[in-house]
Structure 1
C-alpha cells in the first residue's frame, strides 16, 4: 500500500466522519465498509492488501489502548462481575455452542475443530460507534457499559482461545483439555500482569513530566510498549494493552490534575482513533472480494444467524442465572446487548492470521467467516439505534 493510497483513504474517512457529525447515528463502519467494497473494483486500489501484521502491530495496540483509556472506571466497576463472566465463561460457551451448531448444520464439509475455529473468530465484538449510540438512545446506562466492557476484555480472551484452537486445527493434534486450559490461563494472566505493571509505572512517571507533549509520548510508549513486550514474552499483547489503558485511566482519576493530564491525551488519541478506523474499515471492504465465495452464501447467512441466536442464549443463560443480574437486565436489554455484539477489527485480524499460517488449508473457513463478519457490519450496525429507541419506548 503506497502513501498516496493512505492519503486517499484518510480523506474518504474524513468525509464519512464529517457526515457522521452532521447526521445523527450515521452507521460509519458500514458506510466505510461499503465504500471499500466499491473501491475493490477500481484497478488503482487492487494492489492494496491488508495483513495480520498490519492490523496486529500497527492498528490494534492503539485501538485497544484508546478503548481502555477512555472507558469510565465507575461503569466498569459497577458491572465488573457480568463483564468478566461474559468475557471468559460466556466467550468459551459461545465458541463451543456456536462451533457445535455450525458443525451439525454441516452444509459445507468441516471438521469439528474447523467449526470451532469459525466460532472463535466470530466471538470477539467490536462495537466502535455502537457505544455512543447506546448512551444516547437507551434508557438503561448499564447496556452501553456492558457492551463496551465486554468488547474490550473479550478481545484478549478470544485471541488466546483462537490461538489454542488454530494450533490444533493446523497441526491436526488431538485436543487435550488441561494443557490447553493451562496455556489459556498463562497467556491471559501474563498479559494482564504485564499491562498492569506498565500502566502503573507510566502513571507514576506522569507526575514527574510537566510537558504535555512528553506525556502524549509516554502514552504511545505505554500503548505499544506493553503490547510488544507481552507478545515478545509469548503472552497476550491484547490483554496487556487493555490492562495498561485501564490502569492509566484509573490512576489519572485519582489525581486532582486529571483534567490537565487528559486534555492533551484526548486531543491526540481522538484524532488517531477515527484515522485508524477509516483506513481499517476501508481496507476490510477492499479485501472482502478476495476471500468471499458466493457459492456458499446461503451457509454464510446461516452462520451469521446462528451467531446471533447462540449469543442471545448464552447472554440470557448467564444473566438470568443470578438474582441480581436477573433484576438489572430485562429481556429487552439482553436482546439489545446481543444485537450490539457486532463483529469487526479483531475478527478480521484473527481471520488474516489464519490465512497467513494455513497456506490454503483453510480457504473454506476464510470465505465463510469473512462473509459472516461483513453481514454483521452491514446488517447490525444501522439497526442498533432504531432497535434501542424502540425498546426504550416500550419500557417507559
Structure 2
C-alpha cells in the first residue's frame, strides 16, 4: 500500500480504538490518556509478531509507519491545534488574574528546573557530556506538557483556579522549553562550545517577544475581517483552524521565534476581547468543533507516543534502567523543591496558592508528546554522539511513560487525600442549594406523573431508587458564604449577557462593556455595586460633538456620536434587564436572610443606575431616542423571526433547504438595518 493510504489506515483505526476505549472507560477511574498510552505501547510491542493474514499485515505496516513519523512533523501537525484549543477554552479573566503566578512558574521556575536537572545529569550519569548537552536534556525533561496535563485535568478537576494555574503553566513553559532546547542544542553541537548567559537571555527575550507580536498582529487583523462577516460559520471556524498553524509556521520558520507563544497569544485574544467579534450563532458550533478536534488529536498523539516508545527503544541494559529511576525521582524532587522554594512568592501574587494545591501542582507535572518529540529531534541529529542520542531518547521516553502512568493514574487519589476532589465548602453550600431546588421540582413533577392516567402501572419504588432526593434531609452548615454567593450572582449575570448576545439581543460593544464590568467586579472581593468601569465607557467623545458640523469629517463625527449613544442605550437597557433577572435569581441561591438582604440592596442600586441612565438618555438626546429604539426593536424582532424559523425546522414543519433561504433573507434584513442605522 502507498504511504499515504497506510497513514490513513492508521488514523482511522486509531480513532476507532480510541472511541471503543473511551466507551469502556465510562464510569471508571482510569484516565483516558493513561489508557491510550498503554494501548499504544501494547500495539507497538505486538508489531514484531508474524502473521500470514493480509489485513493484519496491512494494519501492522500502518502502525509501523506511524511510529516512524518525523518528530518535527508530529509537532507541526498536533501541537498548534492542541495548544490553541487549550488556550481558547481557558477563562481569560481568571488567566489574567493568575498570570503573574503562571509566569513565575513557566519562566524562572522552568529555567531553575532545567539548570538543576542538568547538574543532576552531570553528577549521576557516566557520560562525557558537555554543559550544553546536559542543559539541552534538562530543558527536554523539565517542561510539563500541555497535551498530557490538559487531557488529565479535563477528566478529573472541577476547580477552575487550580486547573487554570496548571494548564496555564504547561502552555507557557512548553514555549519556554522549546526556546531553551533550541538554544542549548546549538550549544551542544558546537565543537568548542561558548556559553554566554547574557546572549541566552537576550535570545530568549527576542524569541518570546516576537512570538507575542506575531500572535497579536494575526489576531487583530483576523478579528477585523471576522467582524465584517455576518453569521458565516464556515469561514469563521475555518479561520480558527488555519491561523494557529499559520502563526506557528511563521514564528518557527520565518522569524525563528516561539510558535507556541504565538498560538497561545492568538487563542487568548480570541477567547477574551475577540469573543464578541465572532457571530453569536457561531460560538457554540466553534467550541463543539474544537472540542471534537481536541478529542481526535489527543487520541492520535497518545497512541503515537506509546508506539514510538515501544518500537524505537529496545531492551536497555540494567544500568540505563537504574539511571532512569534516579532521573525520574530526581525530576519529581527538583520540581517539588522549586515550587516549594517559590511558594513565598506564589502565595502572595495572583490569587495565592495553598499547600494542598502546591502538592497537586508538583504531582501534576506530566511530561508528554512535546518532550518525546524534542528527544526524537536529538536522536536524528548526527552532530551528536550516537550513545548520547540513544540515552537521551531512552531516558526521555521512560520519563514520559512514568509521569503519565504513575502520576497521571494516581492524581485522582492524591486530590482525594488532599480534599481537592470536591468543591470548596462555600461552593458546596451553593451547589447543595441548587440541588435542593432541583429536588423540589422533581418531587412536584413526580406527583403530577402519579396522577397521569397513562402512567398508572408505574413501579414507583423502582423509579425512586434512581432519583436523588435532597428535599427532606437538607441542612445548611453555618459557614461564611457571602463571597461565594456574590461571586455566583456576578457569574450568573455575566452568563446572562452572553446568552443575550447569543440571541442577538445585545450588540458586540454593549456585551463587551457589561462583561468587562462584571470581570472587574469579580477581582478580589466580589461586589455587585458599584460599576465604575461602565461610566468610563459611556462618555461621549468630545471631538464627535465639536466636529459634527465640520465639512468632510462631520459625517464621521456624527456617526461616532450616534454609535456611542447607541452603545449607552443598549448597555443601560441590558444592565436593567440583568438586574431584574438577578433580583429573581438571588433568593433561590441565598443561604441566609442577611446575605440576601445585602445582595438585593446592591442589585437595587444597579437597577436604579440603569433606569436613571435610560431616563437621562430620553431627556438629553430626544432626537436620537426614536432612531435608537426603532433599530433595537427591529433587531429583536428579526432575531425572533430567525429563531422561529429554526424552531419550525427542528419540528419538521419546514425543510432545511427552505429554512436556509428564509434565514438568508432575515439576515440580509439584519445587515441592511445595521447599515441604515448608521447613515446620517
Query: Normalization by structure 2: what TM-score?
Result: 0.55
When Rg is computed on C-alpha atoms for both structures, the one with the higher figure is 2
Once the two structures are superposed, what CA deviation does each residue of 1:194-237 show, in whole Å capped at 9, x if it has no partner? 01111122222222222101111111222111111112221111
> Please, which of 267, 278, 299 is the counterpart of residue 278 of structure 1?
299
> Please, which of 226, 247, 269 is the counterpart of residue 247 of structure 1?
269
* Residue 309 to residue 259, structure 1, CA distance change in 2 (3 Å): farther
> What does residue 507 of structure 2 align with?
none
The answer to whether the Cα contact below 8 Å between 2:71 and 2:373 also exists between their aligned partners in 1 is: yes
> Please, which of 16, 21, 27 is the counterpart of residue 23 of structure 1?
27
> What does residue 35 of structure 1 align with?
39
* Residue 113 to residue 86, structure 1, CA distance change in 2 (3 Å): same
* Residue 331 to residue 227, structure 1, CA distance change in 2 (3 Å): same
Q: What is the CA–CA distance in structure 2 between the aligned matches of 1:230 and 1:330, rounded to whole Å?
A: 37
Kindly state the Cα deviation for residue 393 of structure 1 after the two structures are TM-superposed: 6.7
> Please, which of 179, 182, 186 is the counterpart of residue 163 of structure 1?
182
The answer to whether the Cα contact below 8 Å between 2:101 and 2:350 also exists between their aligned partners in 1 is: no
Kindly state the Cα deviation for residue 326 of structure 1 after the two structures are TM-superposed: 10
Structure 2: gaps (5+ residues):
49-59, 426-680
> What does residue 346 of structure 1 align with?
370
> What does residue 443 of structure 2 align with?
none
Q: What is the CA–CA distance in structure 2 between the aligned matches of 1:189 and 1:51, rounded to whole Å?
A: 28
> What does residue 235 of structure 2 align with?
214
* Residue 327 to residue 180, structure 1, CA distance change in 2 (3 Å): closer
Once the two structures are superposed, what CA deviation does each residue of 1:60-100 show, in whole Å capped at 9, x if it has no partner? 11111111111110220121110011111111011011211
* Residue 26 to residue 323, structure 1, CA distance change in 2 (3 Å): closer
> Please, which of 175, 183, 201 is the counterpart of residue 181 of structure 1?
201
> What does residue 220 of structure 2 align with?
200
> Please, which of 207, 210, 218 is the counterpart of residue 190 of structure 1?
210
Structure 1: gaps (5+ residues):
none
Choose between structure 1 and 2 for higher RCO, CA contacts under 8 A separated by at least 6 residues.
1
> What does residue 62 of structure 1 align with?
81
Q: Which is further off, 235-244 or 326-335?
A: 326-335
The answer to whether the Cα contact below 8 Å between 1:102 and 1:115 also exists between their aligned partners in 2 is: yes
* Residue 293 to residue 183, structure 1, CA distance change in 2 (3 Å): farther
The aligned runs of 1:90-109 (5 Å cut-off) are: 90-106=109-125
Once the two structures are superposed, what CA deviation does each residue of 1:292-341 show, in whole Å capped at 9, x if it has no partner? 55321111111111111111111111122466259932222111101111
The answer to whether the Cα contact below 8 Å between 2:99 and 2:350 also exists between their aligned partners in 1 is: no
Q: What is the CA–CA distance in structure 2 between the aligned matches of 1:164 and 1:54, rounded to whole Å?
A: 20
> What does residue 18 of structure 2 align with?
13
RMSD over equivalenced CA pairs, Å: 2.2
Q: What is the CA–CA distance in structure 1 between the aligned matches of 2:97 and 2:350, rounded to whole Å?
A: 15
The answer to whether the Cα contact below 8 Å between 1:125 and 1:341 also exists between their aligned partners in 2 is: yes
The answer to whether the Cα contact below 8 Å between 1:35 and 1:282 also exists between their aligned partners in 2 is: yes
Q: What is the CA–CA distance in structure 2 between the aligned matches of 1:244 and 1:326, rounded to whole Å?
A: 23
* Residue 101 to residue 11, structure 1, CA distance change in 2 (3 Å): same
* Residue 336 to residue 167, structure 1, CA distance change in 2 (3 Å): same
